[in-house]
Structure 1
């Protein structure tokens, strides 16, 4: 009985033996685009991507020699250019025209992921794989470079760009990279990650324009460069 209790205690304390916190800074140049979906009448489509630059502070909390919980706080750029069919307000004009919108968003993002590390694949070098998700809130939005948007359908209708975007975003995150030991407590990391938006960001076309079943979601491919201290 005594041996069994000691075994259970050892198993319970094992994660604590590996507990270690590593804090770092990361910058992430990225390519973002907007995934769209709508009925054929409005025919929303993703036209082009945009370059963004983000960064922030992160933490790896190791609960095993090769396993860490990752979180942090980042400013993340998202957005892209979309196009849709619009019926002009003038009588006798074309039945529909193609309208483009360049939407630029900046989010404050909280990632919640797990990192899985390999053993050393080269001197002082380990690979890692990252999976999880994130929650983000928009802090700045511009449409066609402006903070206010003048509707193509009604030039007298001007709305704040931030009101076009939903108040929260959630993402699935997957990535991989390498970590190199530079010194006793300093490490350099480089990796690639994909952020797949889960929430429809549109608060304008359905709510204000009464378009039917419009879905606009974020996607990002990111180059992650960081230093741990």
Structure 2
């Protein structure tokens, strides 16, 4: 009987220690997003405007040391921006003179995103307050898109209609760096606030080269976000 109670005590203590290593919470992230574009000079791609975005979701911090944690979760994020391009075309037949014709597109995309990062925490810099620094990346899949506010897009040059989502590659990857502070509000409740930068690494263009025959077109996401959250 004593051995049974001892075993149960060890099991409970182990479970408590394991659960104390994992912190789960929620986060919202209003952001400023824009697109980095690059292409052959013929097409004159230009970054025009940024736009406001919003994200949020679940955060999970798994501590493998007092001041070190593997941080992941599942986020719904909005990204995008406005860009312009221009291409010479012949109005009626190959013998017509070349005429410049351009277009401006506002691309807005929603992603389901999985962060894969490491968080480094300082000791308390004030009562119940610690700073954190976060490094790593994220993988994301697009679940929705709009061009100029519409789910479908009619190309002004070809008059062909496509879905906005078909313009975006099926996956995205980002480098992520962030810093902020956590405040211990209660026994297991913490508030957090910070800033993060998400730099797109993948060319998301799935239209201009594939459908229009443009060459060397690159469009990548960029996000500056304000991170506000609570862990329970």
Q: Same fold (TM over 0.5)?
A: yes
CA contact (8 A) 1:18 1:62 kept: no
CA contact (8 A) 1:19 1:64 kept: no
* Residue number among 103, 124, 128 corresponding to 1:124 in the alignment: 128
- Secondary structure at 1:41 match in 2: helix
Partner of 1:53: 54
1:85-96 aligned within 5 A: 85-88=86-89, 90-91=91-92, 95-96=99-100
Q: Aligned-pair distance for 1:90?
A: 2.5
Q: Which whole-Å CA distance do the structure 2 matches of 1:152 and 1:112 have between them?
A: 40
Q: Deviations over 1:125-182 (max 9, x none)?
A: 0000000000000000000111110001022x10111110000000000010000011
Partner of 2:148: 144
Q: Deviations over 1:184-229 (max 9, x none)?
A: 1110000000001110000100000000100000000000000000
Partner of 2:211: 208
Paired residues in the alignment total 213
Q: Which whole-Å CA distance do the structure 2 matches of 1:110 and 1:89 have between them?
A: 45
Partner of 1:106: 110
* Residue number among 179, 196, 199 corresponding to 1:196 in the alignment: 199
CA contact (8 A) 1:25 1:228 kept: yes
Partner of 1:183: 186
Aligned CA RMSD, in angstroms, stands at 1.6
Q: Aligned-pair distance for 1:93?
A: 8.0
CA contact (8 A) 2:90 2:98 kept: no
User: Do structure 1's residue 168 and structure 2's residue 171 form an aligned pair?
Assistant: yes
Q: Deviations over 1:102-141 (max 9, x none)?
A: 0000000000000000000111100000000000000000
Give the structure-1-normalised TM-score.
Answer: 0.89
Partner of 1:66: 67
CA contact (8 A) 1:128 1:176 kept: yes
Q: Deviations over 1:12-44 (max 9, x none)?
A: xxxx88960000000000011000111110011
Partner of 1:225: 228
- Secondary structure at 1:73 match in 2: strand
Q: Which whole-Å CA distance do the structure 2 matches of 1:211 and 1:104 have between them?
A: 21
In structure 2, runs of 5+ residues without a counterpart are 1-16
In structure 1, runs of 5+ residues without a counterpart are 1-15
CA contact (8 A) 2:91 2:99 kept: no
